[in-house]
């Protein structure tokens, strides 16, 4: 089976981590853990949610791509992806839309992009608050240019990404199932 990476992208609070965990639980996809200089939220663990880095340690890794998002650095490595593919032909990763564009450019058909849309900024803020983000964190996030940019599917991904409106989680899961199933059934070579 061809190695693939399912890239989940969208605005903060749109459900990327939730869908990534669903892909892991239902289809046994290996999660690619990315690196960040952001401080861990309550309950987040190093090596599980992210590799938490300092400003000094972050540049020491070898990145496939890296971005600045709301003032913090984030990056994903080739090694992380290659290691994930050693465990399973399907990997999943959560990226901002800039990262998703880079993955599509660099990996072509091996990158399957799923853009999650909520389309109601009040609902997004409510979901971030429900998740336990403090109000200062939410305010910083929603005023960042990256958050505002990621509210819409970027032009570069038009026709190259699946868009799912993540309103009813059950419906989202069924749409995700349909997408993944297409890649499970590959014609004999
Ligand atoms: N391009 C890129 N984006 C990343 C990476 N790791 C995380 N992100 C994205 O960075 C943004 C901020 O992530 P986070 O601080 O966890 O906040 P959240 O979106 O509210 O959960 C999200 O859009 C993530 O998808 C990475 O390695 N590369
Ligand atoms: N369809 C949905 N309806 C309501 N709440 C949702 C839905 N999908 C995810 N959530 C919740 O919204 C919050 C933000 O989701 P999360 O997956 O952390 O988003 P992201 O990773 O995109 O920032 C979490 O508390 C999650 O449980």
Q: Whose CA is nearest to atom 22 of ligand 1?
A: 96
The per-residue pLDDT for 103 is 98
The angle at the Cα of 121, spanning 119 to 123, to the nearest 5 degrees, equals 90
Distance 13 CA to ligand 2 centre (A): 5
Question: Residue 97: CB within 6 Å of ligand 2?
Answer: no
Tokens of 5: 């990476």
Distance 19 CA to ligand 2 centre (A): 8
The per-residue pLDDT for 1 is 84
Nearest to 12 by CA among 170, 101, 133: 133
Nearest to 65 by CA among 54, 82, 78, 53: 78
The per-residue pLDDT for 186 is 72
Instruction: Tell me the residue length of the chain.
Output: 189
The per-residue pLDDT for 133 is 87
In order, the DSSP letters of 25-48 are: HHH-PEEPPPEE-SPPPTT--BTT
The per-residue pLDDT for 185 is 82
Q: Whose CA is nearest to atom 15 of ligand 1?
A: 38
ipTM above 0.85, yes or no: yes
Question: Residue 141: CB within 6 Å of ligand 2?
Answer: no
Question: Residue 74: CB within 6 Å of ligand 1?
Answer: yes
* Ligand 1 atom nearest 96 alpha carbon: 23
> pLDDT means per 10 residues in the chain (189 residues)?
96 97 97 96 92 96 95 93 95 98 97 96 95 88 95 97 98 98 78
Domains (range + CATH), the chain? 4-181 (3.40.50.300)
């Amino acid at each position: 089976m061809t190695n693939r990476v399912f890239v989940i992208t969208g605005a903060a609070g749109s459900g990327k981590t939730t869908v990534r965990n669903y892909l892991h639980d239902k289809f046994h996809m290996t999660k690619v853990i990315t690196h960040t200089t952001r401080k861990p939220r309550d309950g987040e663990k190093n090596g599980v949610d992210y590799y938490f880095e300092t400003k000094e340690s972050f540049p020491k890794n070898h990145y496939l791509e890296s971005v600045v998002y709301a003032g913090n650095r984030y990056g994903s490595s080739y090694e992380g992806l290659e290691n994930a593919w050693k465990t399973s032909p399907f990997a999943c990763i959560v990226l901002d839309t800039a990262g998703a564009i880079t993955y599509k450019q660099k990996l072509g058909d091996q990158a399957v992009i799923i853009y999650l849309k909520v389309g109601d900024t009040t609902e997004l803020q409510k979901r971030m608050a429900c998740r336990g983000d403090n109000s200062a964190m939410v305010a910083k996030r929603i005023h960042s240019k990256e958050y505002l940019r990621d509210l819409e599917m970027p032009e570069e991904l038009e026709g190259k990404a699946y868009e799912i409106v993540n309103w009813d989680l059950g419906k989202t899961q069924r749409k995700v199932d349909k997408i993944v199933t297409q890649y499970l059934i590959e014609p004999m070579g």
